[in-house]
Structure 1
Amino acid sequence: MIKPLTLGLALVTLCACAEQSAPNNYKCDEEIASITDINEEQATLSFQQESFLLSRQVSASGVKYSNDTVLFWSKGPEAMLILRGKKYHCALAQ
């Protein structure tokens, strides 16, 4: 009885790990930024042919991710991207 239960729990865990959310695409000053949640704490950002691993930060409103060179903050259909000191205004792409 314990063996089938253990196997079932292992399969559920593996399925949950395999699921990754669909990317959200934003138009940032005529370029596309794509952000994908990995889990509740991390996301990847693809922008200008580079990928960045970001950690979720505390935010008074919206969702904010950052690392040493990138800050991405979104609220509703609007977002702000700061990459290596350059600020981009972003809007959710249709």
Structure 2
Amino acid sequence: MSRIAACLLIALTLASCASPPKKRPVVTPRPLSCGGQPAQITFYSPDEAKLTYAGKSYALERQVSASGAQYGNSTVTFWNKGIDATLTFGKAVIPCTYVPKKGL
């Protein structure tokens, strides 16, 4: 066997051992009403989420919370426990409610 063929055989063997790329789970945005304005929270994993509110999107990371789940960044914090939720921008705390999905 030629040296090139042997190298190709080794390369193909190693390539077949590679694991397939990880697929992100299917995520469903959850509609909210926050202070009377529409909002949306999408959880991509237990550690990351995206909030859309007042025409802006915010990438959020999981934060320590004594109760419930809390996600935030330097601008906004989203907290929820069960059906209760709030947005916090600085000192402004905005109550949120989940909006039922249509057709349910």
Do they fold alike, i.e. is TM over 0.5? yes
Cross-structure match for 1:49: 55
Residue 36 of structure 1, aligned match among 29, 42, 50:
42
Normalised to the residue count of structure 2, the TM-score between the two structures is 0.73
Residue 68 of structure 2, aligned match among 49, 62, 65:
62
- Tell me the secondary structure at the aligned position of residue 79 of structure 1: strand
Matched, 1:27 2:20: no
Percentage of pairs with the same residue: 31
Q: Rg larger in 1 or in 2?
A: 2
AA of the residue aligned to 1:58: V
Which deviates the most, 19-28 or 61-70? Answer: 19-28
After TM superposition, where is structure 1 displaced by more than 3 Å over at least 4 residues in a row?
A: 1-6
Cross-structure match for 2:20: 10
Contact persistence 1:43–1:65 (CA under 8 A): yes
- Structure 2 unaligned residues grouped into runs of 5+: 1-12
- Tell me the secondary structure at the aligned position of residue 38 of structure 1: strand
TM superposition shift of 1:3: 5.3
Normalised to the residue count of structure 1, the TM-score between the two structures is 0.79
Residue 86 of structure 1, aligned match among 85, 92, 96:
92
Cross-structure match for 1:77: 83
Q: CA RMSD in A?
A: 1.8
The aligned length equals 88
Contact persistence 1:20–1:37 (CA under 8 A): no
CA distance in 2, matches of 1:88, 1:49: 16
TM superposition shift of 1:20: 3.9
